[in-house]
């Protein structure tokens, strides 16, 4: 199964300060055709206006990975975590037994990001937060694991889920393969540019759900930037 979820088909919300597109059915933004993929239950495409953001609020027992596409994200939480994440970089946290945090845009331009929620494999763990820079030059025409619950992915931010989040920039005319293990799911979203996934066209901010497929080939039409989630 290869199911394109193009931008126009996504449920959306507009709170003036926040404009969001929902790649998966979520609360009041349900779209039955856009079901979760295993432990992957949320991928939101958010735009946050300058000087605004999500005030202090809580989460439990969820793994949350944020990929900043444009602008600057400021994170503050009640465990002492604090940091600013710029475009192309990633933050991840395990909400575990409970964490409260805020996410705001301290800059003068809109903050654009993908936020990914994964069900954890263990409940009630101690909360933790981390961020890490991933220079785009390091992922030129190759996959880089950004966040992962796999023991071999030692350079990635650790998450408590049987999943990994990868990123790549692909030069015009180049392509990348990705092998998919049995019983696993993949969701790919385009951060920038246009790609073909097994021959199917995706433009910027489109996504594609992959199930019961052993390999995808991602070919760039013009320079492109993609994020891929591999989950069970």
What are the residue boundaries of the structural domains of the chain, listed by start?
2-231
Which is nearest to 18 in space by CA: 66, 62, 42, 50?
50
Give the whole-number percent of the chain exceeding pLDDT 90. Answer: 91
Q: What was the pLDDT predicted at 98?
A: 97
Report the pLDDT averaged over residues 16-33.
82
In CATH, 2-231 is 2.60.120.10? yes
Alpha-carbon span 117 to 50, nearest angstrom:
24
Specify the pLDDT at position 28. Answer: 55
Beta bridge partners of 3: 209
pTM: 0.95
Binding-site residues sit at: 57, 59, 101, 103
Tell me what the mean pLDDT of segment 68-95 comes to: 95
Q: How confident is the model at residue 224 (pLDDT cuts 50, 70, 90)?
A: very high
In the chain, % of residues over pLDDT 70: 98
Confidence (pLDDT) at 179: 98
Q: What is the pLDDT of residue 25?
A: 86
What are the C-alpha distances in Å from 57 to residues 125, 127, 215? 19, 14, 39
Structure confidence at residue 79 (pLDDT):
87
124 conformational bin, left if phi > 0, alpha if psi -120 to 50, beta if neither: left
- Reply yes or no on whether the pLDDT at 3 is more than 90: yes
Q: How many residues does the chain have?
A: 232
Q: Is residue 26 over pLDDT 80?
A: no
Q: What is the mean pLDDT of residues 176-202?
A: 97
64: its two tokens? 């949350």
The pLDDT of residue 47: 98
Q: Which residues define the annotated binding site for Fe cation?
A: 57, 59, 101, 103
> Does residue 163 carry a pLDDT above 80?
yes
| pLDDT score, position 31 | 73
**Nearest of 168, 179, 172 to residue 194 by alpha carbon:** 172
Q: What is the pLDDT of residue 30?
A: 62
What pLDDT sits at residue 41?
Answer: 96
Residue 90: pLDDT above 70? yes
38, pLDDT greater than 70: yes
> Quick one: pLDDT at residue 111?
98
């Amino acid at each position: 199964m290869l199911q394109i979820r193009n931008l126009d088909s996504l449920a959306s919300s507009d709170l003036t300060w926040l404009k969001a597109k929902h790649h998966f059915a979520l609360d009041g933004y349900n779209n039955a055709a856009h079901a979760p993929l295993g432990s992957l239950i949320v991928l939101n495409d958010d735009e946050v206006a300058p000087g605004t953001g999500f005030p202090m609020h809580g989460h439990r027992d969820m793994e949350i990975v944020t990929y900043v596409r444009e602008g600057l994200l400021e994170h503050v939480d009640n465990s002492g975590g604090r940091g600013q994440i710029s475009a192309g970089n990633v933050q991840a946290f395990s909400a575990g037994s409970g964490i409260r945090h805020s996410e705001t845009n301290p800059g003068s331009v809109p903050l654009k990001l993908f936020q990914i929620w994964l069900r954890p494999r263990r409940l009630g763990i101690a909360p933790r937060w981390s961020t890490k820079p991933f220079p785009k030059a390091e992922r030129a025409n190759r996959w880089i694991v950004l966040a992962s619950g796999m023991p071999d992915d030692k350079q990635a931010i650790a998450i408590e889920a049987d999943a990994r989040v990868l990123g790549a920039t692909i030069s015009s005319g180049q392509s990348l393969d990705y092998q998919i293990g049995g019983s696993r799911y993949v969701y790919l979203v385009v951060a920038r540019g246009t790609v073909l996934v097994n021959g199917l066209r995706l433009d910027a901010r489109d996504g594609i759900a992959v199930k019961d497929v052993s390999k995808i080939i991602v070919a760039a039409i013009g320079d492109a930037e993609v994020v891929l989630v591999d989950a069970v």
